[in-house]
């Protein structure tokens, strides 16, 4: 979507982190729990300033462990709820996330990721990919994982995250990083479509005059936990079938296709524009959902290009998922940089190298 298509006065120069808040509030989220950590502090700051006036709750918890359990309780009562943190805090939330996945409770968790492992640093990083898409907590579950690459998407994907969370009764993770969180660019606050909200016949709202409801992740009777696992599996299969989202960027006639998400994809767009000017047919497949991963799209793309160039701000995580999509492993190249952005110049250099190999 071209931002120029609308009148300039409707565009707002907004920080990515703030756009997440605006999207959450537009989607009806009135409950936020969190604990401060760089580089996402704009989110609790914004929510603290605005939620009370909307009749909502902002609460700075004593820790991220408390945060995620406050989320669990709020979600069980049927309310839309969000938290945000960065790597170390998200790690502390993993137990609660597992409980919420097991209890089939919707919630939106934002990870504006920083460098790790451990306390790491505050530099932008995509080192939390594995944690985001492979479960993170125990017991074998999936989160729907959305990867915005612009301020506009920070807004739109936050609204989508609430809808998907409710639709599938599962926590949704938004995986951003310091760049897309801290940068400002114009965005349009498109209205939220309330038609996408669903009833919550499972919510614990007080059982006077109706059957009792039960929200739990503990199943001790006979083979109840096995049945529950198959039920969750079937849900994740439905998500895989229906919710894959990816952007095709300049892929027409492409011989070199970058596969990148978030900020790495954003930077790659500049390199692709430069490569095209040099006559190199470069393009990109940008996964917007990291789970479900665009497997079919990668499989088809690998058959038509000379090279898939996977670019990540880590030493190689998503590239493992790309390898699982295609048997054509000799066509997969990787450019990674932990805790920093690969520059457009570095990406262009690699594109040229690959073009030379074939040409």
Partner 1 sequence: MTGDIIMAGFGGQGILMIGNLLALTAMEEGKHVTYFPAYGVEMRGGTANCTVVVSDEEIGSPVVGRPKGLLIMNGPSMEKFLPMLASGGDLIINSSLVEERQVTRDDVRLLPVPADDIARNKIGSRQMASMVALGAYVARSGIVKLSTVFDCLPKVISKKYEKFIPLNVTALKEGAALAGFHA
Name the site residues for partner 1 (rule: CB under 8 A). 2-4, 8, 11, 13, 38-39, 122, 178-179, 182-186, 266-273, 341, 343-345
The residues near 168 (Cβ < 8 Å, ≥ 6 apart) are 106, 144, 235, 238, 239
d(C-alpha 162, C-alpha 153), whole Å: 14
Smaller CB separation from partner 1, 40 or 314 = 40
Smallest separation (angstroms) from partner 1 to the CB of 46: 15
Smaller CB separation from partner 1, 7 or 214 = 7
Bridge partners, residue 309, by sequence: 258, 333
Smaller CB separation from partner 1, 38 or 315 = 38
Smaller CB separation from partner 1, 135 or 181 = 181
C-alpha closest to that of 136 among 178, 82, 175, 176: 175
User: What are the backbone dihedrals phi and psi of residue 335, each rounded to the nearest 5 degrees, phi first?
Assistant: -130, 115
Is-contact 34 83, C-beta < 8 A? Answer: yes
Smaller CB separation from partner 1, 8 or 191 = 8
Is-contact 187 12, C-beta < 8 A? Answer: yes
Smallest separation (angstroms) from partner 1 to the CB of 85: 15
Smallest separation (angstroms) from partner 1 to the CB of 76: 35
> Residue for token digits 């701000």?
313
Smallest separation (angstroms) from partner 1 to the CB of 341: 6
C-alpha closest to that of 114 among 37, 22, 211, 212: 37
Smallest separation (angstroms) from partner 1 to the CB of 8: 5
């Amino acid at each position: 979507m071209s931002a120029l298509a609308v009148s300039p006065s409707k565009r707002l120069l907004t920080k990515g982190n703030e756009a997440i808040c605006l999207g959450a509030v537009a989607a009806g989220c009135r409950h936020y729990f969190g604990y401060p950590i760089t580089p996402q502090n704009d989110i609790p700051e914004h929510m603290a300033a605005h939620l009370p006036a909307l009749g909502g709750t902002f609460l700075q918890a004593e820790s991220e462990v408390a945060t995620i359990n406050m989320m669990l309780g709020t979600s069980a009562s049927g309310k839309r709820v969000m938290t945000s943190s960065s790597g170390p805090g998200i790690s502390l939330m993993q137990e609660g996330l597992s409980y919420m996945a097991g209890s089939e409770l919707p919630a939106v968790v934002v990870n504006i990721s920083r460098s790790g492992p451990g306390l790491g640093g505050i530099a932008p990083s995509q080192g939390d990919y594995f944690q985001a898409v492979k479960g993170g907590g125990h017991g074998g579950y999936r989160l729907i994982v959305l990867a915005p690459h612009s301020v506009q998407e920070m807004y739109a994907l936050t609204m989508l995250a609430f809808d998907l969370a409710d639709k599938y009764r599962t926590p949704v993770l938004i995986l951003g990083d310091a760049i897309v969180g801290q940068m400002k660019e114009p965005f349009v606050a498109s209205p939220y479509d309330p038609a996408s909200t669903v009833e919550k016949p499972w919510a614990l709202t007080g059982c006077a005059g109706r059957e009792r409801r039960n929200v739990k992740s503990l199943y001790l009777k006979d083979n109840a936990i096995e049945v529950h696992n198959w039920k969750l599996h079937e849900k994740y299969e439905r998500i895989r079938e229906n919710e894959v989202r990816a952007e095709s960027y300049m892929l027409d006639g492409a011989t070199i296709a970058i596969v990148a998400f978030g900020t790495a994809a954003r930077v790659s767009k500049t390199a692709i524009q430069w490569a095209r000017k040099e006559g190199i047919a470069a393009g990109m497949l940008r996964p917007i959902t990291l789970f479900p991963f665009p497997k079919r799209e990668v499989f088809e793309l690998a058959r038509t290009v000379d090279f898939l160039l996977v670019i990540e701000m880590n030493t190689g995580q998503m590239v493992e998922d790309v390898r699982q999509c295609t048997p054509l492993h000799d066509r997969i190249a990787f450019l990674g940089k932990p805790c920093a952005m690969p520059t457009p110049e570095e990406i262009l250099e690699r594109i040229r190298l690959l073009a030379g190999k074939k040409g």
